[in-house]
Amino acid sequence: MSEVYENPLITRYASKEMSMIFSSQKKFSTWRRLWIALAEAEKELGLSITEEQLESMRAHVEDIDFELAAAYEKKLRHDVMAHVHTYGDACPEARAIIHLGATSAYVGDNTDILVMKEALELIQRKLASLLAGLKAFSLEYKDLPTLGFTHFQPAQLTTVGKRAALWMQDLLLDYEEVTFAIQTLRMRGVKGTTGTQASFLSLFDGDHEKVKALDRLVVSKFGFEASIPVSGQTYSRKLDSRVLNAMSQIGQSLHKMTNDMRLLQHLKEVEEPFEKHQIGSSAMAYKRNPMRSERIASLSRLAIANAQNSAMTQSTQWFERTLDDSANRRISIPEGFLAIDACLDIALNVVTGLVVYPEMIRRHVEAELPFMATENIIMEAVKAGGDRQDLHERIRVHSMEAGKEVKIYGRSNDLIERILKDDFFKLDQAALKEILKPENYVGRAPEQVVEFVENEINPILKRHEAELVQAQDLKV
């Protein structure tokens, strides 16, 4: 075990793939690629930069001497200049042209955008994969009637599959939000110290067209069609807020979904996976705690709260920039992604292993359905010649008495037996059995599931069919 603090997001929860996206190796090798792209573009536009210098830079993208960089930063108190010097030591032929005309935000901000875009694309794929898992579950159980709940009180019936479609609806909104963030992200580009491009205008002897071309060339080397139109020294921190809000929204959806799952597990209707040797409680050996859902809820709260970091950072920036954003962003941006990455992995593990108990669901439905069926019973009794108002009063009295049997004496709901014994209703057991079929009370729930999947979910899954993520075993 380490003698110092280790971030549990990395050691326990998030995937290796997401952890690598926010690694030091990724960050600083991207800085070097940005310096290469800048030098290449400056050479293409006529500055005195040689191919030998560029080749020297390209040869040392990944071999970063982190100890040397740390020593430089301790001396210089500036992380970007520390890595400029470290890179220059690795390729001395190019030392003179590394970071030419640029400010620290050139590598810092552009790298943040590139890293966030890659992280968003991973989140997008995992959202699609989770939707695929929920699609399979919702279609399998689209016809299984279950109690609906409002205020956690029994309400009209729905189906197990329709409830899963509600979870999918939330995640569909999250998928759309993440997709929008990906599609609208732009690099900061080549903007200079306060965003005016003054240093580059000087490098190109006042040629505005070359300065604009430099900006376009650099971002195109990273697959972007355009950069942010205007910036200060940094891009607007509202971009961070938009991205971390998207993570927060995913957290909101998953927290709600797993709250439902935890309640369903309490009702013994649906359970998350429980492994052969898993221990639910150190004291109570019989327990099957919903630890996966609880972990998702716990990490989701981190992502939800974390969105406030970016909101406060954006709102407190001064003019072209202040540095009070830096330390916070080093933590809040990676941890927002790492938390949601972990939540999505756990959620996929859960939804692909959910266990449904139809008989327990049926028992709960049968305990409440007689009350819900009273209107239908009245209508059938009217058809048999009864008076609607008299029937309503008699069934009200019977319902109150049946409610007492359940709540006061702990006995079964005997409303149907009471109605069968009351000749005023003129209904036999066969007629009541037909009225009490649960499928009569689910409305269009099965059809809604099918239509929702076909119209909304399938197009997304088709878009990602070659890159869906499979459920993985959890680290812990």
DSSP secondary structure letters along 406-439? HHTT-----HHHHHHH-GGG---HHHHHHHT-GG
User: Mean pLDDT over residues 346-351, rounded?
Assistant: 96
The pLDDT value recorded for residue 419 is 85
User: Mean pLDDT over residues 187-193, rounded?
Assistant: 96
**Out of 152-166, 336-350, 351-365, 404-418, least confident range:** 404-418
Q: Say how many CA atoms lie within 13 Å of 388 toward its Cβ.
A: 4
The pLDDT value recorded for residue 1 is 64
Q: Is residue 352 part of a domain?
A: no
User: Mean pLDDT over residues 175-187, rounded?
Assistant: 97
Q: Is residue 310 part of a domain?
A: no
Q: Is residue 150 part of a domain?
A: no
Q: Is residue 409 part of a domain?
A: yes
Cα 19 to chain centroid, rounded: 16
Does this model's pTM top 0.85? yes
The pLDDT value recorded for residue 377 is 84
Q: Is residue 424 part of a domain?
A: yes
User: Mean pLDDT over residues 429-435, rounded?
Assistant: 85
Tell me: pLDDT of 276 over 50: no
The pLDDT value recorded for residue 123 is 98
Tell me: pLDDT of 287 over 80: no
Q: Is residue 406 part of a domain?
A: yes
Q: Is residue 184 part of a domain?
A: no
> In this structure, which amino acid lies at residue 89?
D
The pLDDT value recorded for residue 180 is 97
* Cα–Cα dist 120/463, whole Å: 16
* Cα–Cα dist 126/349, whole Å: 12
Query: 86, 69 in Cβ contact below 8 A?
Result: yes
What six digits make up the tokens of 382?
């009217």
Q: How many domains is the chain partitioned into structurally?
A: 1
Q: Is residue 400 part of a domain?
A: yes
What pLDDT digit, counting tens, does each position of 294-326 carry? 999 999 999 999 999 999 999 999 999 999 999
Catalytic positions, written as ranges? 151, 281
Q: What percent of the chain has pLDDT over 70?
A: 97
**Out of 27-41, 86-100, 117-131, 398-412, least confident range:** 398-412
Q: Domain of residue 392: give its range.
A: 374-435
CATH of the domain at 387: 1.10.40.30
Tell me: pLDDT of 244 over 50: yes
Using DSSP's 3-state secondary structure scheme, residue 281 falls into: coil
Query: What confidence category does residue 57 fall into, taking pLDDT thresholds of 50, 70 and 90?
Result: very high
